[in-house]
Structure 1
Amino acid sequence: MKKKLLIVATVCASLFVVAPAVSVSAAEVESESQVQTIQNDDIGIAPCADEIVTKFRLYKKTKLQYRRWNQTRGYWVDKDWIDLN
């Protein structure tokens, strides 16, 4: 416990010695504001969510079925085909 108190006291004392020696000055700022323009050529559209596509099929020429495909990641969302009728 005494070692921790001694370390904290040493750090605080060193800050009091070093702090007045460091001079902080602010840089001058121009009064005119600079406007940064963004060109649309550099910006691309990036989807945040997965793109889900619904695929349909006619099973045995009688049943209409659908299944969802994850276009972004390349796998079926649904395990089996789902009857629409």
Structure 2
Amino acid sequence: MHALKELQQTILETSKKLDSIKSPTFLIQGSLDDSLYKESTSIIYQQVKTETKQLKWYEQSGHIITLGEEREQVCEDVCAFLDSLSW
């Protein structure tokens, strides 16, 4: 229970600082995930203050996208996003 309370506190503190994120941001979300997580992703997308941001939905994925059947597509999409940036 202690770890859960610490996690909740970290989430609360982080959510208050989203508007300080100015780096390019790529958010991924599984369509089969719980609605609470879907809502969180939308909030993060709206609050980050970068002009370079993208939200990608994966129709056949749940919460742990990187271990699901769309994991290869996730890797390709992350690489494409990173390649699109001016380094």
TM (norm. structure 2) is 0.19
Q: Which protein has the bigger strand share?
A: 1
Larger Rg: 1
TM (norm. structure 1) is 0.19
